[in-house]
C-alpha cells in the first residue's frame, strides 16, 4: 500500500516552523487551526514526527549540510528536516520523498524549490542512513549543558543526553492495584509503584481509561505525593496544581484537597481529569501567593525551568535560552516563604520542581533552612519503595535525573524535599 502521509508530514513541518521560527513551545503549536483540522491519526503522526525530528535536530542538520550550498527558506528547510529524519530512521523512500516534494510544491512561495527538495532527499536516501548511526548523541545547548556539567560532571551529562535522545515511555499512576493495572495494559510495575508501558499506544484506548482507573504521570512526578504520605481526612492544599496528577493522588488518598492554579484553562483540564477518575477536590483559580488558610500539608510544585522534562519536550532547549531562570528562582523562593505560612503547627511542606538545575532545588532548600532554622527536613520520609540512597542529597532532599533507571527507560529530572513545621 502506498504511503499517503502528505497531510501529516506537511503539518509536522508547520509545527517545526512555529517552534524554530516563532519560538513557540510544541504544546502551544499543537493548537494551530491546521492541526485541529486533521484526522486524529494524522494529528498524532504529525506531533510524533515533529517531536522526534526536534529530538534529533543536530543529527538531521549534519546529514543535510553537505547537500545544501546555503540554507533554504525555513518552510522548505523544515520539510527537508522532517523527511531526513524519516529517511534515516527507516521511512519508505518513495513515500517520504514524494510527500516532501508535494508539500513544497503546494505552497506558491516555495513551489520553485521542488527540484531542490527532490535532489537533496535523493542524496539523503543514498548516504543518510549509514551516516546517521555514526553521529554523536545530540547535545544540550551550551547555556544548559554548562551548568549541568558543573553540577553532575561531564560523564553524567553524556548519560542524561543519551536518555533525552531515547525519549520517554508512558507511565501510569494506578488508582488501585498496580499489578492488576500492569496486566490489563501490558505494562510493568516499577519499583516505586508506577506502571510503565514502553511501546507507543493511544492513551484513550487503554483498558481502564474511561473508568478512571489511572492517569498519565511520569514515575518521578508521582513521588512527591508518595513522600508526603497523605492521610484520610487531612486538609491539604496543592499549589500550582495543573495538570492535576498530584491532585488526583491526594484525592485518592482520602484527603480533603484544595487545588490552586492561576490559569482557568489549565484548571479545566484538572477538572476533566478528576471527573474521569471519579475523584473530588475543591478547585480554586487564583494566585498561589494570595492563598490563605491553615493546612495539615502543603504541596508546592513550583513553576520552574522544566529542564527535567526534556525527554518528553525536546523542543524546550531549542526555544528557551535560560534568560528567564533568574525570575523563576526568585518566584520559587517567594512561594516557599508563603507556603510556610499556610501550615498548621506540625504541618508538612513538599517542595518540588521538574528541574535539573540545583538552583531550583537543592539551593532553594539550603537558603530556606538558613532563613527558617526552625524548619526540619524529613529524611525519613524519603525511605520509600524504589528510592535509592544515592539519590538523596546532602541537605536531605531527593535528586532525580533522566539517567536513573536507564535500563528501565529513565525518569524525568525532579527535585523533592519534605519540610516539617514545629508544633
Residue 379 lies in a domain: yes
User: So what's the pLDDT on residue 2?
Assistant: 45
CA–CA separation, 66 and 112 (whole Å): 21
Active-site annotation holds for 363: no
Instruction: Specify the length of the chain in residues.
Output: 423
Are residues 344 and 244 located together in one domain of the fold? yes
Residue 364 DSSP label: H
Give the contacts of 31 (CB within 8 A, at least 6 positions apart): none
CB 401 within 8 A of CB 156: yes
Query: Checking phi first, is residue 213 left (phi over 0); if not, alpha (psi -120 to 50) or beta?
Result: alpha
Supply 345's cell numbers.
503547627
Q: Calculate the average pLDDT of the chain.
A: 96
Are residues 126 and 222 located together in one domain of the fold? no
The last residue of one of the domains, among 75, 106, 132, is 132
Residue 370 lies in a domain: yes
CB 109 within 8 A of CB 44: no
CB 400 within 8 A of CB 223: yes
Residue 202 lies in a domain: no
Residue 345 DSSP label: E
CA–CA separation, 313 and 307 (whole Å): 9
Average pLDDT (138-153) is 96
User: So what's the pLDDT on residue 5?
Assistant: 85
Looking at the structure of the chain, the number of domains it has is 2
- H-run or E-run covering 78: helix 74-88
Residue 194 lies in a domain: no
Residue 124 lies in a domain: yes
Are residues 279 and 408 located together in one domain of the fold? yes
Report the percentage of the chain scoring pLDDT > 70: 99
Residue 48 lies in a domain: yes
Supply 213's cell numbers.
482507573
User: So what's the pLDDT on residue 4?
Assistant: 64
Give the CATH number, domain containing residue 27: 1.10.940.10
User: So what's the pLDDT on residue 331?
Assistant: 98
Instruction: Specify the 3-state DSSP secondary structure of 195.
Output: strand
Average pLDDT (412-418) is 98
CB 295 within 8 A of CB 346: no
Are residues 106 and 238 located together in one domain of the fold? no
The last residue of one of the domains, among 113, 132, 151, is 132
Supply 173's cell numbers.
499512576
Residue 183 lies in a domain: no
Angle at CA of residue 300, ends 213 and 295, nearest 5°: 90
Q: How many CB atoms lie within 10 A of CB 278?
A: 12
Supply 233's cell numbers.
481526612
User: So what's the pLDDT on residue 222?
Assistant: 98
Instruction: State how far Cα 267 lies from the chain centre.
Output: 18
CB 349 within 8 A of CB 419: yes
Give the CATH number, domain containing residue 307: 3.40.50.150
* Residue 22 pLDDT class (50, 70, 90 cuts): very high
Are residues 101 and 229 located together in one domain of the fold? no
CB 415 within 8 A of CB 353: yes
Average pLDDT (334-345) is 98
Which member of 88, 304, 352, 354 is catalytic?
354
Average pLDDT (62-76) is 95
Give the contacts of 318 (CB within 8 A, at least 6 positions apart): 19, 20, 54, 57, 141
> 237-260, pLDDT tens digit by residue?
999 999 999 999 999 999 999 999
User: So what's the pLDDT on residue 3?
Assistant: 59
Are residues 281 and 407 located together in one domain of the fold? yes
**To 10 degrees, what angle do helices 74-88 and 93-105 make?**
170
> 146-187, pLDDT tens digit by residue?
999 999 999 999 999 999 999 999 999 999 999 999 999 999
Half-sphere exposure of 286 (CA within 13 A, CB side): 13
Residue 41 lies in a domain: yes
Average pLDDT (372-392) is 96
The last residue of one of the domains, among 82, 115, 132, is 132
Look at residues 173, 224, 166 and name the one whose alpha carbon lies nearest to residue 196. Answer: 173
| Residue range of the domain that includes 384 | 218-420
Supply 14's cell numbers.
508547520
Are residues 126 and 223 located together in one domain of the fold? no
User: So what's the pLDDT on residue 200?
Assistant: 80
User: So what's the pLDDT on residue 199?
Assistant: 86
Amino acid at each position: 500500500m502506498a504511503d499517503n502521509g502528505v497531510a501529516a508530514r506537511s503539518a509536522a513541518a508547520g509545527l517545526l516552523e512555529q517552534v524554530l521560527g516563532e519560538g513557540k513551545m510544541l504544546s502551544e503549536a499543537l493548537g494551530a487551526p491546521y492541526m485541529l483540522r486533521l484526522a486524529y491519526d494524522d494529528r498524532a503522526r504529525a506531533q510524533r514526527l515533529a517531536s522526534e525530528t526536534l529530538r534529533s535536530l543536530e543529527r538531521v542538520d549534519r546529514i543535510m549540510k553537505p547537500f545544501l550550498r546555503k540554507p533554504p527558506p525555513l518552510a522548505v528547510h523544515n520539510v527537508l528536516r522532517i523527511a531526513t529524519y524519516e529517511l534515516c530512521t527507516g521511512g519508505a523512500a518513495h513515500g517520504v520523498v514524494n510527500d516532501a516534494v508535494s508539500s513544497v510544491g503546494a505552497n506558491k512561495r516555495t513551489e520553485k524549490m521542488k527540484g531542490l527538495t527532490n535532489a537533496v532527499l535523493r542524496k539523503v536516501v543514498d548516504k543518510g542512513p549509514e551516516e546517521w548511526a555514526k553521529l554523536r548523541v545530540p547535545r544540550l545547548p551550551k547555556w544548559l549543558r554548562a551548568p549541568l556539567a558543573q553540577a553532575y560532571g561531564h560523564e553524567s551529562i553524556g548519560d542524561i543526553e543519551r536518555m533525552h535522545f531515547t525519549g520517554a515511555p508512558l507511565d501510569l499512576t494506578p488508582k488501585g492495584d498496580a499489578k492488576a493495572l500492569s496486566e490489563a495494559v501490558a505494562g510493568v510495575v516499577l519499583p516505586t509503584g508506577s506502571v510503565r508501558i514502553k511501546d507507543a499506544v493511544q492513551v484513550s484506548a487503554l483498558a481502564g481509561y474511561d473508568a478512571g482507573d489511572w492517569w498519565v504521570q511520569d514515575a518521578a512526578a508521582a513521588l512527591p505525593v508518595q513522600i508526603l504520605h497523605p492521610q484520610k481526612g487531612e486538609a491539604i492544599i496543592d499549589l500550582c496544581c495543573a495538570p492535576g496528577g498530584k491532585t488526583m493522588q491526594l484525592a485518592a488518598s482520602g484527603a480533603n484537597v484544595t487545588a490552586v492554579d492561576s490559569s482557568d484553562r489549565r484548571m479545566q483540564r484538572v477538572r476533566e481529569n478528576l471527573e474521569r477518575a471519579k475523584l473530588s477536590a475543591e478547585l480554586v483559580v487564583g494566585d498561589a501567593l494570595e492563598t490563605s488558610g491553615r493546612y495539615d500539608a502543603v504541596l508546592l510544585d513550583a513553576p520552574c525551568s522544566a529542564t527535567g522534562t526534556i525527554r518528553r519536550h525536546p523542543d524546550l532547549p531549542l526555544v528557551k535560552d535560560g534568560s528567564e531562570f533568574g525570575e523563576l528562582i526568585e518566584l520559587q523562593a517567594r512561594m516557599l516563604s508563603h507556603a510556610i505560612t499556610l501550615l498548621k503547627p506540625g504541618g508538612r511542606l513538599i517542595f518540588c520542581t521538574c528541574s535539573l538545575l540545583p538552583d531550583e532545588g537543592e539551593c532553594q532548600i539550603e537558603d530556606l533552612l538558613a532563613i527558617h532554622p526552625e524548619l526540619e527536613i524529613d529524611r525519613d520520609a524519603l525511605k520509600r519503595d524504589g528510592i535509592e540512597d544515592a539519590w538523596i542529597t546532602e541537605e536531605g532532599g531527593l535528586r532525580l535525573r533522566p539517567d536513573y533507571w536507564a535500563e528501565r527507560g529513565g525518569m524525568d529530572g525532579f527535585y523533592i524535599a519534605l519540610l516539617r513545621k514545629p508544633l
